[in-house]
Amino acid sequence: MKSRAIFLDRDGTLMDEVNFCRDPRDVRAIPGAAELLAEAREQGWKIIVITNQSGIGRGIISLPEYEAVHAELLRQLNHQVDGAYYCPDVPPNVTLRRKPEPGMLLEAAGDFDIELTRSVMIGDKNIDIECGRRVGARTFLVRTGYGKNTDDSAADHIVDDVAEALRLVLKS
């Protein structure tokens, strides 16, 4: 049987929103996320980070800076992440990997043998929600990051933060 996954946006969802975060000292994981991700993994969920990173494509963030920020987030999450995918595309020149397109989810589904319709997508922007909807995943909009300014989301659930979203996923 294929795995199910919790796909998570990074900036504004798993960690505080920092515009084009390039310094690991600015990384602040959302409280409670690490423990709930560990519980989800114990229940058999794959944990996959899916993040647009146009700052790389724009030359604002170097690849080593991105990797250092990612490493610090993983440390703060007690390494409870199975995989991470990023897209450096800069609009309007984008590929099918840039959210809301589902390319990164499809790539992860192939890499980890994931059944997308049994999975969830958690993010703070409508592009995260649209990305999840395009593959039939259940969607959660968090009210952290850009989500606090979003009132017209098509998400299946709108919650305060990633910890609340994970609690709901683990109950279902």
Active-site residues: which are they? 9, 11
Which DSSP string do the residues of 61-112 spell out, in sequence order?
A: S-HHHHHHHHHHHHHHTTT--SEEEEE--BTTB--TTSTTS-HHHHHHHHHH
Do the strands 45-52 and 157-159 form a parallel or antiparallel pair, or are they unpaired?
A: unpaired
Contact predicate 136/26, CB 8 Å: no
For residue 161, the 8-state DSSP code is S
Kind plus residue range of the DSSP H or E element containing 159? strand 157-159
Do residues 17 and 146 touch, judged by C-beta distance below 8 A? Answer: yes
